[in-house]
Amino acid sequence: MGLAMFDLWHKIKQNLFLKPQPGFTGGIVHHHQFKVTAGLPIVACPLPDVLMHPIKQHIGEPCEPIVQVGDRVLRGQVLAKAQGYLSVPVHASTSGVVARIEEHTIPHPSGLGLTTIFIHSDGLDEADESLYPMPNYRSIDVVELRERIRHAGIVGLGGAVFPTFVKLVQDQKHRVDTVILNGIECEPWLTCDHQLMNEKSHEVITGLDIILYLVGAEKGIIAIEDNKPDAIKIMQTTLLDMGMDKYIEVQVLPTRYPQGGEKQLIQAITGKEVPAGGLPMHIGVVSLNVGTSKAIYDAVCLGEPLTERIVTVSGDAAPSPVNMSVRLGTSMHFLLAQVGIQSLDGIKLIHGGPMMGELLGHDDIPVVKGTNGILAMRETTVLSAHHAESPCIRCGDCGEVCPAGLMPNLLAAHCKEHQFERAEDYNLFDCIECGACSYVCPSHIPLVHYFRYGKGQVAQIQREKAFAEASRLRSEKREARLAKERAEKEEKRRIAKAKKEARAKALAEKQAAEAEAMNMQAKSASETENTDNTTQKRKPEETA
Amino acid sequence: MELLYPILIFAVLALLIGLGLGLASHYFHVEGDPLADKVDALLPQTQCGQCGYPGCRPYADAVAAGEVDINHCIPGGERTMLEIADVMGVEPKAIEEEETAPVVAYIREDECIGCTLCIKACPVDCIIGAPKQYHTIIADHCTGCALCLEPCPVDCIDMVETPELLEHWSWPVPGTKRANKAESRKASHGVSHV
């Protein structure tokens, strides 16, 4: 009784002070995480003969190739330079010769291709050492550091591939006080971040220190879920060893999907919600993946651009799943051969995790900056998870698990009925496409698929409206021009007509005058000379 | 006599209100037809003339005047029809012809004789060329109206389907024709056979 009273009092107190409570609403707990590669050491993937570098591996503008076919390039040399602000360059992952530049499939749900630079490796793996290391980064100007991070081609390696340098700004209006390093890795199967923290804790923490210096924040938090006790321990010891435990701490969170989502993680730690359409920066937080932090360390302290990343190659069809350090541009076919998969018969490939990743059509696709895992699943496994859609029974499970606090059933219904405006009213664009709703739906409605369709259609409609507006303007201008031309023609015709009339009048007058003159001539012979003179004078005037 | 007062009051009121309305209609007069403008803004502006009017604006005028049904815009499809129905406050009407894939015109330049007839026909000024010079179409601006096909004396203009662009790609609805096409492409596209 006393305890219940205390609990009640506690609740009332909480509600009275309305303090933001850490933790996000919704989410799901996977009973089985399938993290078979957890704790397995990172294996270096051998160098393939051919590397494929798509010219866009980030969110933003595609890059422009600056190498020619036949050029010899070194590891870390820029192949394609950034275009516009939201863009980072693409680098060669090894030394070799540019064999060809042509369209090739990239890991994308459309299966469409993109201009890709093919490099035939010469096996020497010579590095371009034009970037000098900056181990004493705290004495270097933030602008230079930021430019280095951009030049190194660093993007969010958690899978979102957003150019990292954009986040690392010091804004007077939005001061950043906390940097959260995302070591959550909430997708089942994937363990690349886990193993990175186990093996490269020093690099990850140094990377975080660089970020803290760049954004001028006082506090760093490394967030790890409680299903990775070894990583938690290692990070804590390394922090103590490095003497950074005063301002960087490891925060342990209960395992829940999608805690690794940027907005969800920030809410889970600070209790503050990133406003709709806003950025984490607006609430004083910057969040980066641990892999990105390691890449920043490499770029700043070692002067190495982003040319490799850790990929979990796993799945129930992989005989020997492994965490591999892979050069960007390595073909998935080559990668799968390393884990003992020679043919794709009866196997479905997933790029990324099982919750948010996409199915690939074939394996002649390069590893890109956003590849955190490749899962080779048995076709039977994939098919057994796939059910025909049945009608919504309004159970509300999807709304309960939605980490963004949306109503997925209503959203999906609106998207399905092409009521995109209404879907937007229900905050379609706040959906992070985590897939939790589709996962729990007892009617197997592909909810996220409908949201993606809806988002795409909204963008398409906007493009069409802009195109229609431009067409309308051109059409109106053409109409105006034609009207002007018509008016000018009309004016010319009018003038010509007036002239003609004037001429006719003059002729008539002349004839009249002549006739009169004839009469006069007939009447008096003495005046003949005078009239002849006047008619001769008028004649040249008329012809002119 | 008692009957006369109310009549007088109402007569004076009617006069005053009438005067007010008359003045308002004079001073707050809006040029053009705002309803036609609204309808025009919904139309896809292909200027194709498939509705039977010489362009989008004339059709919008006719729709706003209630002279014609709202379901004649073929490139606009069902979505445009529903939007017009919403603005006009009328019942939606089914569109007879099916929406086709987006197309743009393409001139086979080696066959072009440079007659400039297509340039004159293009309603959005997106064909460039000069007499006795090859003409070409600015594909980004072409609305796919096909009005340039008919005047061409050598039939060197084709309508080609616009390719799906990666940056404009959007998810198809599961189970539709477009989704199946994407699936089949995914299995085969861009295999380099190295």
Nearest Cβ partner for A449 among B44, B123, B171: B171
Cα–Cα distance, B124 to A466 (Å, whole number):
15
Instruction: Suggest the residue from A56, A110, A115 to mutate for an interface test with chain B (most B CBs closer than 10 A).
Output: A110
Six-digit token pair at A149?
């991070």
Chain B residues with beta carbon closer than 8 angstroms to that of A50? 194
Place of tokens 């009018």: A494
Nearest Cβ partner for A110 among B56, B166, B187: B166
Q: How confident is the model at residue A281 (pLDDT cuts 50, 70, 90)?
A: very high
Q: How confident is the model at residue B166 (pLDDT cuts 50, 70, 90)?
A: confident
Residues of B contacting chain A (CB within 8 angstroms): 40, 43-47, 55-57, 79, 123-126, 141, 143, 164-174, 182-183, 185-194
CB atoms within 10 A of CB A250: 22
> Tell me, what's the pLDDT at B127?
93
Does pLDDT of B134 surpass 60?
yes
Nearest Cβ partner for B182 among A110, A113, A118: A110
Which residues, at least 6 apart from B48, have a Cβ–Cβ distance to it below 8 Å? B74, B75, B123, B143, B144, B145, B146, B147
Q: Supply φ then ψ for residue B154, to 5 degrees.
A: -115, 10
Per-residue pLDDT tens digits for A441-496: 999 999 999 999 999 999 999 999 999 999 999 999 999 999 999 999 999 999 99
Whether B34-88 and B103-161 share one fold: the answer is: no
Residue ranges in A300-407 assigned as alpha helix (H): 332-338, 379-384, 397-401
Nearest CA in chain B to A419: B79
Chain B residues with beta carbon closer than 8 angstroms to that of A459? 168, 170
Structural domain B34-88, CATH architecture: Orthogonal Bundle (1.10)
Q: How confident is the model at residue B28 (pLDDT cuts 50, 70, 90)?
A: confident
Per-residue pLDDT tens digits for A331-370: 999 999 999 998 889 999 999 999 999 889 889 999 999 9
Does pLDDT of B49 surpass 60?
yes
Per-residue pLDDT tens digits for A223-255: 999 999 999 999 999 999 999 999 999 999 999
Which residues between 327 and 356 in chain A have a beta carbon less than 8 angstroms from any beta carbon of chain B?
Answer: 331
Chain B residues with beta carbon closer than 8 angstroms to that of A103? 190
> Tell me, what's the pLDDT at A529?
53
Structural domain B103-161, CATH architecture: 2-Layer Sandwich (3.30)
Query: Quick check: ipTM above 0.85?
Result: no
Which residues between 356 and 395 in chain A have a beta carbon less than 8 angstroms from any beta carbon of chain B?
Answer: 359-362, 364, 389
Does pLDDT of B149 surpass 70?
yes
> Tell me, what's the pLDDT at A17?
53
Query: Per-residue pLDDT averaged across B58-69, rounded?
Result: 90
Per-residue pLDDT tens digits for A94-136: 999 999 999 999 999 888 889 999 999 999 999 998 899 999 9
Q: How confident is the model at residue A19 (pLDDT cuts 50, 70, 90)?
A: low
> Tell me, what's the pLDDT at A391?
93
Query: Per-residue pLDDT averaged across A404-416, rounded?
Result: 94
> Tell me, what's the pLDDT at B193?
39
Q: Taking the model in full, what pTM does it have?
A: 0.82
CB atoms within 10 A of CB A225: 22
DSSP A391-406: ------HHHHH-TT--
What is the side-by-side strand order in the sheet with A96-105?
Answer: A50-54, A113-121, A96-105, A72-73
Per-residue pLDDT tens digits for A62-84: 999 999 999 999 999 999 999 99
Touching check for A120 and chain B: CB below 8 Å?
no
Would you kindly state where each structural domain of chain B is located, as residue ranges? 34-88, 103-161
